Structure 1
Amino acid sequence: MLEHVRIVLINTSHSGNIGSAARAMKTMGLSDLVLVDPVDFDPQAPSDVSVAMASGAQDVLQGARVVATFEEAIEDVAVVMGASARSRHLPWPLMHPRKATAKALEVLPSGQKVALVFGRERTGLTNDELAMCQIHIHIPTNEDYASLNVASAVQVLAYEMRMGILAHQGELDANYEGNWGVSWDNELANQGEINGFMDHLEQTLVDIEFLDPTNPKQLMPRLRRLFQRAMPDKVEINILRGILKMIGRSQHK
């Protein structure tokens, strides 16, 4: 299951942090690294500092995939978890790393992907990026000194993920909560499907004059939060889009 856990680093400024994150990943058995618009990194010719900080994890570095947008990084992912130390205007499901790992284990056994997302060194993830994460993870650090290097945060979450998976596989004497109790009947919708649905929904709400595009307020972020919290599966998204399609047809009669 470890191969289905993806680490996503957004707009990382220092290549050394990418190397350190690769090392943190490899020590925990993770290998899927995606970099969103890094400031200075080429996986085919990683810098000396990134290689030095990787300390033997050059294969993870060279296997890293570089993409231009966050949407590309999570296109095929079912559950996206964003690491965040800041409180937000809209409340979202917030979990500590161990509980988040238990949540990930609801989908990992079926082969679906889980992404752990980390933001910029200075400012972290933006509100828009966090809005695309179903779950926000907060690492309960010392309140008097909460500064955590991005690679250190990767290490903490990668460790928790590994421990949870080993326990799930019966390789550790540990008991984590979070199982649904039964196998889900359909795969969860990935983020590409969720985003397609949200675009379809927004256009439909404009067409029926429920949403004023010149004064949208918080309607779409709140609706996204609703559907992200529900974690709909592929069939449910198809049903919802079918309903929207019929509404569109009725509007054009």
Structure 2
Amino acid sequence: MNIAQQGGEIRIVLVGTQHPGNIGAAARAIKTMGLERLVLVAPERYPHGDAIAMAAGADDVLDAARIVGSLAEAVADCALVLGCTARSRRIALEELAPRAAAARLHGAAASGARVALVFGRERTGLDNDELQLCHAAVHIPANPDYSSLNLAAAVQVLSYELRMAALADGGHAVALAPQEEQREPPASHAELEGFFAQLGDTLDAIDFHKGRAPESALRKLRRIFLRCALDTREVRLLRGVLADAQRMARLASPPGPGE
């Protein structure tokens, strides 16, 4: 059973992979679990013979892999993005165990959404700016005395959990409740980032921060809105509110020289 075809799309994203063999091994890991969508964000060495050798027959996954320059580009059309991380960060993200993360990804994909599971660099993982683009973090509860998990092994663990979530569902798409059938599609990552950019501009325009650094408030507001799972219509409505707030802020501003 190919779980990538159940409803939406489950995308495995590797960010800044340093060793090409890990790309091939990851391709093999996801293919064995019925996944096929691989996106590579700025890999250090790819294409490379080591990737082909370690793929061990998953050449079709490598051939179909997209290569992009940034994580934002890789997940722009996704409604749910989960980032795998091995340690706590200053950015406060909801933390999910692999099984819970897989269930959430499968449920969203089965409902027709594009979703992404993101893995960082072998040595340093995902940086804080990249984690900021994720809706929640996934942590594999490895042995605390030796938690060094190979990138491809981590991909295998999460891919296995995704397959188990699909098998538990009988391999079928999750049926929507009647009241959910008419809901607009979930807002894409790009739509949400556009909203957050406009929100930041609006807070500046109304002097919300009062001279304080804006980063903390914006991080908290991101978390609030991401928990709401906004759809496209709701994002359009909120952006309309922000546009009116910006217009009123301009009207309230004292005229500049020559105006």
TM-score under structure 1 length normalisation: 0.90
Q: In 2, distance between residues paired with 1:133 and 1:141?
A: 22
Equivalent position of 1:208 in the other structure: 206
Q: Per-residue deviation at 1:251? A: 2.3
Cross-structure match for 2:143: 142
Letter in 2 for 1:91: A
1: CA distance, partners of 2:39 / 2:211: 34
1:4-15 aligned within 5 A: 4-15=9-20
The reply to whether residue 245 of structure 1 matches residue 243 of structure 2 is yes
> 1:30 and 1:105, CA in 2 relative to 1: closer, same or farther beyond 3 A?
closer
1:11, 1:58 → 2: CA distance?
A: 20
Task: Give the CA deviation at 1:68.
Answer: 0.6
* 1:248 to 1:131, Cα distance in 2 relative to 1, 3 A: same
Structure 2 vs 1, CA of residues 32 and 208 (structure 1 numbering), >3 Å: closer, same or farther?
same
CA distance in 2, matches of 1:213, 1:17: 46
Q: Matches of 2:171 and 2:75 in 1, distance apart?
A: 29
**Aligned 8 A contact 2:4 2:37 in 1:** no
Q: 1:215 and 1:101, CA in 2 relative to 1: closer, same or farther beyond 3 A?
A: same
1:24 alignment partner in structure 2: 29
**Contact 1:102–1:179, Cα closer than 8 Å, also in 2:** no
> 1:16-95 alignment to 2 at 5 Å?
16-42=21-47, 47-95=48-96
Is the contact made by 1:15 and 1:40 (CA closer than 8 Å) also made in structure 2?
yes
Partner of 2:107: 106
Confirm or deny: 8 A CA contact 1:96 1:139 kept in the other structure: yes
Letter in 1 for 2:225: F
Structure 1 CA distance for aligned equivalents of residues 139 and 100 of structure 2 = 10
Conservation of the 8 A alpha-carbon contact between 1:2 and 1:162: no
Does the 8 A contact of 1:18 with 1:50 survive in 2? yes
**What stretches of structure 1 of length at least 5 have no aligned partner?**
172-177
Q: Tell me: CA distance 1:213–1:230, structure 2 relative to 1, closer, same or farther (3 Å).
A: farther
> Alpha-carbon deviation of 1:49?
1.1
Partners of 1:19 and 1:108 in 2: how far apart?
A: 25
Tell me how far apart the structure 1 counterparts of residues 103 and 44 of structure 2 sit (CA, whole Å). 33
| Equivalent pair of 1:106/1:179 in contact (CA under 8 Å) | no
Higher gyration radius (CA): 2
Q: How much has 1:158 moved relative to structure 2?
A: 0.7
Gaps of 5+ in 2: 252-259
CA distance in 2, matches of 1:86, 1:180: 35
Deviation (angstroms), 1:156: 0.6
List structure 1 segments (4+ residues) > 6 angstroms apart after TM superposition: none
Residues 245 and 217 of structure 1: CA distance in aligned 2, closer, same or farther (over 3 Å): closer
1:186 matched residue in structure 2: 184
Match of 1:174 in 2: none
Aligned residue number for residue 133 of structure 2: 132
**Residue number in structure 1 paired with 2:219:** 221
Paired residues of 1:22 and 1:61 also in contact (CA < 8 A): yes
The equivalent residue for 1:97 is 98
Q: Work out whether residues 106 and 180 of structure 1, in 8 Å CA contact, stay in contact via their aligned partners in 2.
A: no
Report if aligned partners of 2:91, 2:132 keep a CA contact under 8 Å in 1.
Answer: no
Contact kept, 8 Å, 1:84 with 1:138, in 2: the verdict is: yes
How much has 1:181 moved relative to structure 2? 5.6
TM superposition shift of 1:170: 5.4
State the percentage of identical aligned residues: 46
1:89, distance to aligned residue in structure 2 (A): 2.3
Alignment partners' CA distance in 2, 1:217 and 1:26 = 40
SS for the counterpart of 1:187 is coil
CA contact 1:133–1:228 (8 Å) conserved in 2? no
Distance 1:88 1:179 in 2: 36
Q: CA RMSD in A?
A: 2.0
Q: More displaced, 111-120 or 220-229?
A: 220-229
Query: Shift in Å at residue 25 of structure 1?
Result: 0.9
